[in-house]
Amino acid sequence: MKRLTVPRIRGRKVDGVTADPLVMLTAYTARQAQLLDAHCDLLLVGDSLGQVIYGLPSTVPVTMDMMANHAAAVVRGSYHAVVVVDMPFGAYEASPQLAFESAATLLKASGAAAVKLEGGEAMAETVAFLTQRGIPVMGHVGLTPQAVNMLGGYMARGRSDAEADKIVSDARTLDEAGAFAVVVEGVVEPIAIAVTEAIACPTIGIGASARCDGQVLVTEDMLGMFERVPRFVKKYENIAETIENTVKQYAAEVQDRSFPTAEQTYQPKG
Ligand code: KIV
Ligand code: NA
């Protein structure tokens, strides 16, 4: 299987129609990437790894090194999906030049194909700067977690008319600036529809209804690694329970010396 490309992802939406919705999940490690790769069009090395892997309170403290290292692992573990790396907070907002340096660093360190950054109109110049210089950019509008300190929490966006209009115009600006896709997070369904109809490139929804051109979730969330997840997450599994039960059994077998058995034990030859 040959690796998909950014133009092929972009090309999945033709004249406003996406016949074949885009499948995206987060991946942070090589083995996780291996397991997801064949089933996904895109793997996102999300800065959600701050909470999921590092136990941080938000994505704000996530560093370039964290993103580069996990992105390299995900590229090593995959050969089919397009790997997109989140630009961490602080690495791109100040100027297009800073954004280019950071994006180039991430792509060179990892071999990933594209970066994702949060924000609308304020990032349009940066998106144009990067795309004109060879770096594909995925946008991210609506609930933008890096802005948690401005937003005051992770509630759904676009409930007021002003906010709704802003999200649609933000997405339109990113599309016009050259973004190849836009993540739409945590918005009411009419906004997801409006954005998807307003822009030429595909929308990828998370908590943004079924009316986007694709969907993304945090893999650990959909596998049921965490008890508490946002309402928009469907828990397809309860992996936390599986892990707990397995570890409980291991601990009991170590304590009653029923593990290891002869099968797991080396003996001298002859
Ligand atoms: O960091 C992340 O995982 C994301 C997705 C949930 C869109 O940005
Ligand atoms: Na993110």
Give me the pLDDT at residue 1, please: 64
Show the domain range for 147: 6-240
Taking CB atoms and a 6 Å cutoff, what residues make up the pocket around ligand 1?
26, 44, 46-48, 86, 183, 185, 206, 216, 218
Domain assignment present for residue 34? The answer is yes
Q: Taking the model in full, what pTM does it have?
A: 0.97
**Residue tagged active-site, from 176, 185, 227, 244:** 185
Give me the pLDDT at residue 39, please: 98
Domain assignment present for residue 66? The answer is yes
* pLDDT tens sequence across 219-238: 999 999 999 999 999 999 99
Domain assignment present for residue 245? The answer is no
Cα 16 to the center of its chain, rounded Å: 23
Atom of ligand 1 nearest to the CA of 217: 6
Domain assignment present for residue 261? The answer is no
Digitized pLDDT (tens) for each residue of the chain, 270 residues in all = 689 999 999 999 999 999 999 999 999 999 999 999 999 999 999 999 999 999 999 999 999 999 999 999 999 999 999 999 999 999 999 999 999 999 999 999 999 999 999 999 999 999 999 999 999 999 999 999 999 999 999 989 989 999 999 999 999 999 999 999 999 999 999 999 999 999 999 999 999 999 999 999 999 999 999 999 999 999 999 999 999 999 999 999 999 999 999 999 999 997
Domain assignment present for residue 254? The answer is no
Give me the pLDDT at residue 61, please: 98
Domain assignment present for residue 234? The answer is yes
Q: How many domains does the chain have?
A: 1
Which residues have a beta carbon within 5 Å of ligand 2, which is an ion?
46-47, 86
* pLDDT tens sequence across 242-259: 999 999 999 999 999 999
Buried b (16+ CB within 10 A) or exposed e, 169-196: ebbbbbbebbbbbbbbbbbbeebbbbbb
Q: Is 110 one of the annotated binding-site residues?
A: no
Q: How far is the CA of 4 from the centre of ligand 2 (A)?
A: 21
Domain assignment present for residue 268? The answer is no
Q: For position 90, which CATH number holds?
A: 3.20.20.60
Domain assignment present for residue 154? The answer is yes
Instruction: Note the residue count of the chain.
Output: 270
Has 244 been annotated as catalytic? Answer: no
